[in-house]
Amino acid sequence: MKWFWYASPQTFYPLAGTIARASGIVAALLAAAGLYIGFFVAPTDAQQGEAYRIIFIHVPAAWMSMFIYVVMACWAALGLALNTRLSGMMASALAPTGALFTFIALWTGSLWGKPTWGTYWVWDARLTSELILLFLYLGFMALQAAIDDPRRADRAGALLAIVGVVNIPIIHYSVVWWNTLHQGASVSVTRAPTMAATMLTGMLLMALAFWAYSIAVSMVRVRCIIRERGGASSS
Amino acid sequence: MLEAANLTCERGGKILFQKLSLRVSKEDLLRIAGDNGSGKTSLLRILCGLAWPAHGEVRWKGEPIRRLGEEYSRSLVHIGHASGLKDELTAAENLAVTCTLAGIRASDPAIRDALGRFTIAPERQVRHLSQGQRRRAALARLALSGDVPLWLLDEPFAALDAAASALVEELVRAHAGRGGAVVYTTHQAAALRDTRVIEL
Amino acid sequence: MLATARAIVYRDLLVAVRRRSDVAVALLFFVIVTSLFPLGIGAEPNLLRAIAPGVIWVSALLSSLLSLRRLFEADHDDGTLEQMLLGASPLGVVAAAKALAHWMVTGMPLAVIAPLIALQYDLAPQLFGVLALSLLLGTPVLSLIGAIGAALTLGLRGGGVLLSLLVLPLYVPVLIIGAGARRRASSCCSPRCWWWRRRSRLGQSPRH
């Protein structure tokens, strides 16, 4: 019962503020722990030296980029099914963060590629899928930006997000297949070294930190959207 | 038959009308009057189901039209501002497709007959027709829609000469006489007698 | 329902036949774009043979995109879209019929003239069939996916470019599978395996 009470933007507004503050603190703590483990505690890799440490940012960012898209699509589906305004606002609030993580994944992937394989960009399956995911996010944001009426923007974005989420596995597998078709002698840039326990812990901590960060940032953004659409009575 | 409760319509941040309720029953002739920009077309589109009101609900025979979907669409004829005709097709071809889309079974002779009543040559491509002729070609559909209970007409008398206006009036009255209902908008002061009026 | 679909396809085909310039322009665009690649890359025969399927597919994709904008826009402008929305059949049928008509007017002719382009690229003749078939199966999917984009961007400013941005990422699997088909065919197994994959893609349909 309580969920539906919070489904109104007015009542959600203060709750969002509280969640944002709490998640922000959690994110900072987890990030500190994760980065410490990643950059100081985890052992040096035998093959890749110190350069591999970027996976502590690259892999969690890639995970989050896909996870956020799925969450966005869930909010979108909820909005279409229950016709609640807040669900659409949540989806719109999540998109820029998802795009940011996708960009971070691509950028760190490139930075990883240079010292290990000698090139900044490799057309391997993971990076190419991430690139297309970035286009999907940007398309979503562009579509919402082009529509003036917020209701239509929410519905259109929701439909696009759902079509996108259905297509993501298809895109991913077709890219993997494409990659095997054109496989040269190159090995995938994103193949991580065999995981020591500390490495895995570090990555998980960073993933959780990114997750808490996404929650914090999207809560702040949702508050902005609520204010923009005239739903908030007071701060 | 048709009921609208507490309709509120917003456009561009401005509220056009609010808490508007109306009821249309058999043999009703309802005219929606108002100046340009007062929301007549918006109201008609909301009644069709082409637009959604900010608040309120439209019901057909007790059921909300959102839930009815095609069942409601099959029970109405809507003729709006746009002609609904393809330039490259002849008037007869256009009318045939329109009838098929609306689920109305109309034979070739019936189509020619309908167009003939409005003095439109069936074999002429619409792009060669004048503005008034296109309007008449669009309205010719009414002659084949006798079985459709609800007629929603947006400015049916606009751009028509006296003969065509009289023909439309005749069709509208005949339809109401048969037990149908007609809702139409016009900003012209002269309109059909014996109609109820809603001012926006 | 079938009557509605038939009426919509019939009307769109009739319009296309009487306004031949639209169809011709799309085909011409396809031919011109495929001619640009050798000019940009160089006319070395081995290179051209290798890039032929990819180039033809990308050009087909772009050519299909060109005409997508008008898919619903033309109907919106003259009021026929409203007629279809208020029609007696579900919207899914309407959208599918529109996509089918779009394919028959743009995709099918492309598949037919693709072998001619392949000749320009010195592709082995035994691969013409695979190429044409891959286009014949792939272009309907392009029309269906494109219809989603066209519907979402109807009436928006900057519609054409926005439409491309939305639809191109969704086109990627079709492109990969379609262009990759030639590799498969020329290397080992029969075209049957990707044919099956293609059929499952055709299950996608647009929403309004």
Q: What is the CATH number of the domain that holds A165?
A: 1.20.120
Rg (CA), chain B: 17
- Report angle CA B2, B4, B5 to the nearest 5 degrees: 145
Residue C10 contacts B, CB cutoff 8 Å: yes
For the segment C95-146, what is each residue's pLDDT rounded down to a tens digit? 999 999 999 999 999 999 999 999 888 888 888 888 999 999 999 999 999 9
Query: Measuring CA to CA, how many Å separate C38 from each of A140, B107, C43, C62?
Result: 35, 56, 5, 17
Residue A235 placed within a domain:
no
Q: Give residue C148's pLDDT.
A: 92
Burial of B72-95, coded b for 16+ CB within 10 Å and e otherwise, reads bbbbbbbbbebbbbbbbbbbbbbb
Report residue C117 as tokens. Answer: 């382009």
Residue in A156, A167, A173 closest to C170 by CB: A167
Which residue in chain A has the smallest CA separation from C174? A174
Which residue ranges make up each domain of chain C?
Answer: 2-201
Task: Answer yes or no: do B101 and C78 touch at CB < 8 A.
Answer: no
Instruction: Write down the pTM of the prediction.
Output: 0.85
H or E stretch including B186?
Answer: strand B181-186
SS3 A75: helix
Which distant-in-sequence residues (6+ apart) come within 8 Å of B150 by Cβ?
Answer: B1, B2, B24, B60, B75, B76, B77, B180, B181, B182, B183
Nearest to A156, CA basis, from C174, C100, C159: C159
Q: In which band, very low, low, confident or very high, does the pLDDT at C50 lie, cut at 50, 70 and 90? A: confident
Contacts of C162 in chain A (CB under 8 A): 139, 142-143, 146
Residue A79 placed within a domain:
yes
Burial of C55-83, coded b for 16+ CB within 10 Å and e otherwise, reads bbbbbbbbbbbbbbbebbbbbeebbbbbb
> Chains meeting A at 3+ CB pairs closer than 8 A?
C
Which residues of C sit within 8 Å Cβ distance of A?
148, 152-153, 156-158, 162, 165-166, 168-170, 172-173, 176-177, 180, 183, 201, 207
Which residue in chain A has the smallest CA separation from C168? A135
Average pLDDT over residues B113-138: 90
Chains A–C, number of C-beta pairs less than 8 Å apart: 59
For the segment C160-189, what is each residue's pLDDT rounded down to a tens digit? 889 999 999 999 999 988 888 766 665 544
Candidates A102, A154, A170, partner chain C, best to mutate (most C CBs within 10 A): A170
Residue C4 contacts B, CB cutoff 8 Å: yes
Task: Answer yes or no: do A143 and C162 touch at CB < 8 A.
Answer: yes
Q: Sign of the CA dihedral A42, A46, A50, A54? A: negative
Residue in B76, B82, B88 closest to C79 by CB: B82
Whole-angstrom distance, CA of residue B47 vs CA of residue C86: 12
178-197 of A, contacting C, C-beta below 8 A: 178, 181
Candidates B47, B73, B78, B86, partner chain C, best to mutate (most C CBs within 10 A): B86
Question: CA of A80 to nearest chain C CA: how many angstroms apart?
Answer: 13
Tell me how far apart the 2 most distant CA atoms of chain B are, in Å: 49
Task: Answer yes or no: do B88 and C15 touch at CB < 8 A.
Answer: yes
Contacts of C7 in chain B (CB under 8 A): 96-97, 100-101
Tell which wins on pLDDT, A119 or C81: C81
Report residue A127 as tokens. Answer: 């990076």
Residue A148 contacts C, CB cutoff 8 Å: no
Contacts of B70 in chain C (CB under 8 A): 87-90
Which distant-in-sequence residues (6+ apart) come within 8 Å of A7 by Cβ?
Answer: A82, A84, A86, A87
Residue C83 contacts B, CB cutoff 8 Å: yes
Contacts of C153 in chain A (CB under 8 A): 143, 146
For the segment C19-49, what is each residue's pLDDT rounded down to a tens digit? 888 888 889 999 999 999 999 988 888 888 8
* Distance separating the N- and C-terminal Cα atoms of chain B: 22
Which residue in chain C has the smallest CA separation from B73? C86
**At residue A204, what is the residue type?**
L
Give the ipTM of the model, two decimals please: 0.86
Question: CA of C3 to nearest chain A CA: how many angstroms apart?
Answer: 28
Q: Give residue B150's pLDDT.
A: 92
Q: Give residue C30's pLDDT.
A: 93
H or E stretch including B168?
Answer: helix B162-177
Tell me how far apart the 2 most distant CA atoms of chain A are, in Å: 62
Backbone angles phi, psi at B48, to 5 degrees: -75, -30
Tokens 């996916």 locate to: C145
Q: Give residue C162's pLDDT.
A: 92
Whole-angstrom distance, CA of residue C61 vs CA of residue C29: 11
Task: Answer yes or no: do A171 and C173 touch at CB < 8 A.
Answer: yes
A58-72, A110-124, C149-163: segment of lowest average pLDDT: A110-124
Going by their DSSP bridges, the two strands B196-199 and B181-186 should be labelled as unpaired
Contacts of C165 in chain A (CB under 8 A): 135, 138-139, 142
Whole-angstrom distance, CA of residue C111 vs CA of residue B69: 38
Q: What is the DSSP letter of B88?
A: T
Residue A80 contacts C, CB cutoff 8 Å: no
Task: Answer yes or no: do C19 and B84 touch at CB < 8 A.
Answer: no
Q: Check whether A7 has a pLDDT greater than 80.
A: no
Whole-angstrom distance, CA of residue A7 vs CA of residue A231: 12
How many domains are contained in chain A? 1
Q: In which band, very low, low, confident or very high, does the pLDDT at A183 lie, cut at 50, 70 and 90? A: low
Tokens 């879209």 locate to: C81
For the segment B160-189, what is each residue's pLDDT rounded down to a tens digit? 888 888 899 899 989 988 988 999 988 765
SS3 C69: coil
Question: CA of C165 to nearest chain B CA: how many angstroms apart?
Answer: 28
Which residue in chain B has the smallest CA separation from C7? B97
Backbone angles phi, psi at A85, to 5 degrees: -70, -35
Q: Give residue A121's pLDDT.
A: 84
Tell me how far apart the 2 most distant CA atoms of chain C are, in Å: 57
Q: Check whether A234 has a pLDDT greater than 80.
A: no
- CATH class of the region B1-75+151-200: alpha beta
CB-CB contact of B195 with B33 (8 Å): no
Candidates C11, C73, C208, partner chain B, best to mutate (most B CBs within 10 A): C11
Task: Answer yes or no: do C157 and A171 touch at CB < 8 A.
Answer: no
Residue C105 contacts B, CB cutoff 8 Å: no
Which residue ranges make up each domain of chain B?
Answer: 1-75+151-200, 82-148
Q: Check whether C191 has a pLDDT greater than 70.
A: no
β-bridge partners, B181? B150
Query: Measuring CA to CA, how many Å separate C122 from each of A182, C131, C146?
Result: 21, 13, 31
Residue A138 contacts C, CB cutoff 8 Å: yes
Task: Answer yes or no: do B76 and C86 touch at CB < 8 A.
Answer: yes
Report residue A80 as tokens. Answer: 């279409």
**At residue B171, what is the residue type?**
L
Q: Check whether A51 has a pLDDT greater than 90.
A: no
H or E stretch including A176?
Answer: helix A150-181
Nearest to A214, CA basis, from A133, A95, A57, A58: A95
Tell which wins on pLDDT, A230 or A164: A164
